[in-house]
Structure 1
Amino acid sequence: MRRFFYACLSFFGLASSFFEPICNGVNFLRGAFQNGVFCLEALGVSVRLRPMNRKQQGFSLMEMMVAMAIVLILSAGGFTAWQGWQAQQRLIQTVHQLRSYLTLLRNDANWYNRERQVRVKRNGDRWCLTSDAAGSQGCGSGGATEFMPQWREIRLVEITEGLAFFGLRNSAWPGHIRICNAAGEWQVLTSVWGRIRIVETPGETTCH
């Protein structure tokens, strides 16, 4: 313990001997600067030490208005593009769900060797597809053989009359189903052998 105490004393002694010349040098420069200022003032030379300018320069009102206008324009363009992308994704998701629905009807007709005809039902501004032969209930019955789009903006443009799948030789009545919204138009095509595929319709959409 005594050795540790002596070691600490020797360390602080060396540190003070090391920093003492530096402190003396700083004091010397400060005194020389003050003496120089005093001599210049004695000779009639005015010496004014200007403090550091810490005033921060901000933006003017016009600059702020221009920046806000640019931000608003970019935000409006981005929001419009985002809405168009959302509508396109809703349409693509609906057309894939419609293809899955027709595939379900085709597989059911082939497996049980029976006919599955696609019919259209309308309930106000909503529409749905069903293969129920009764046809008395409206859309929204929730049956496994019913397809109703999730979004009201999806419109049914055209459907081939008599579109159906037959269990005999796994055949089908060829046709198409066209759906659209503000983002575009797609078709679901069926061939005579029950092949189902989706195709995007080029050109202007009829859902604007």
Structure 2
Amino acid sequence: MPVPARRHAFCGTPSRKMPAFPRCNAAVRHFFLFRHRPLAGDFLCLTLARMNRLTGKQQGMSLLEMLVVMGLIAILTGSSLYYAQEMRQAHRLRQSAQALQTFLGRMQAQANSRNEARLLAVTLGPAGCVTQQSEPPAGCGGNGLHVFRPGGQGVSIVGFSGNGMGFYGLRNTAQPGHLTLGNAAGRIRVVLSGHGRLRLCGEDAVSGVPLCR
């Protein structure tokens, strides 16, 4: 039995009742030809041809559309850079606070092992430091193992609870207090309890650090 002409009709090849639409996409012709959907293919090609006549030969984006897209890209890029900078500052602050906690833990271990007092001497500011009280005062220019410095990058020592904070080797006791580090991302406290426990807490919402209570 001969195959009807419409069964193999597709865009570009006229059937008995549907005209040819040379502007129809080749992928559409291929899809409907090999899946034996000539009626749907003819209808889709007719729709595309009508749309092509309505829009003329205009293709691409208008100047206004391009300006809108460029504005959205600029806004998204600026927001991403701002949040990335804020995350880097929070990471630096958290690293400095953890380094200070480690430094104080090392001082505490020395006080306990030698059964002697180790009190803190603190210099505030971006160029400040934390060291052990001594006679004469060592200042911030001493040995790196016995001096903590924030390490720059915008982090500074912004608060100290007062003199007398430190460790006493007898029964692992300590004079409670706290040190505060800060930068543009916020402030983090290194808190020392009377039982010699060291912990971190944030005066502001800093990622990865619980808030101070």
TM-score range, shorter chain: 0.5 to 0.7
Structure 1 contact 140–148 (Cα < 8 Å) conserved: no
- The alpha-carbon distance between structure 1 residues 135 and 63, as it changes in their structure 2 partners (threshold 3 A), is farther
1: distance between equivalents of 2:180 and 2:136? 22
Once the two structures are TM-superposed, the CA of residue 110 in structure 1 deviates from its matched residue by 0.3
Q: In the alignment, which residue of structure 2 is the partner of 1:112?
A: 114
- Unpaired runs of at least 5, structure 1: 1-32, 34-48, 204-208
Any residues of structure 2 matched to 1:85-124 within 5 Å, and which?
A: 85-121=87-123
Determine whether 1:139 maps to 2:137: no
- Secondary structure of the structure 1 residue equivalent to 2:195: coil
Residue identity matched to 1:200: G
Structure 2 contact 92–153 (Cα < 8 Å) conserved: no
Residue identity matched to 1:194: G
Please provide the CA RMSD for this pair. Answer: 2.7
- Secondary structure of the structure 1 residue equivalent to 2:167: strand
2: distance between equivalents of 1:163 and 1:187? 14
2: distance between equivalents of 1:100 and 1:135? 25
TM-score (norm 1): 0.65
- The alpha-carbon distance between structure 1 residues 56 and 174, as it changes in their structure 2 partners (threshold 3 A), is same
Residue identity matched to 1:117: L
Structure of larger gyration radius: 1
Q: In the alignment, which residue of structure 2 is the partner of 1:157?
A: 158
- Secondary structure of the structure 2 residue equivalent to 1:103: helix
Structure 1 contact 132–145 (Cα < 8 Å) conserved: no
Residue among 53, 60, 63 paired with 1:61: 63
Q: In the alignment, which residue of structure 1 is the partner of 2:17?
A: none
Once the two structures are TM-superposed, the CA of residue 140 in structure 1 deviates from its matched residue by 5.0
Residue among 72, 75, 87 paired with 1:73: 75
2: distance between equivalents of 1:162 and 1:136? 15
Give the number of aligned pairs. Answer: 155
Residue identity matched to 1:73: I
Residue identity matched to 2:116: R
TM-score (norm 2): 0.63
Residue identity matched to 2:164: G
Q: In the alignment, which residue of structure 1 is the partner of 2:149?
A: 148
Return structure 1 stretches of 4+ with deviation > 6 angstroms: 53-56
% same residue: 34
- Secondary structure of the structure 1 residue equivalent to 2:194: coil
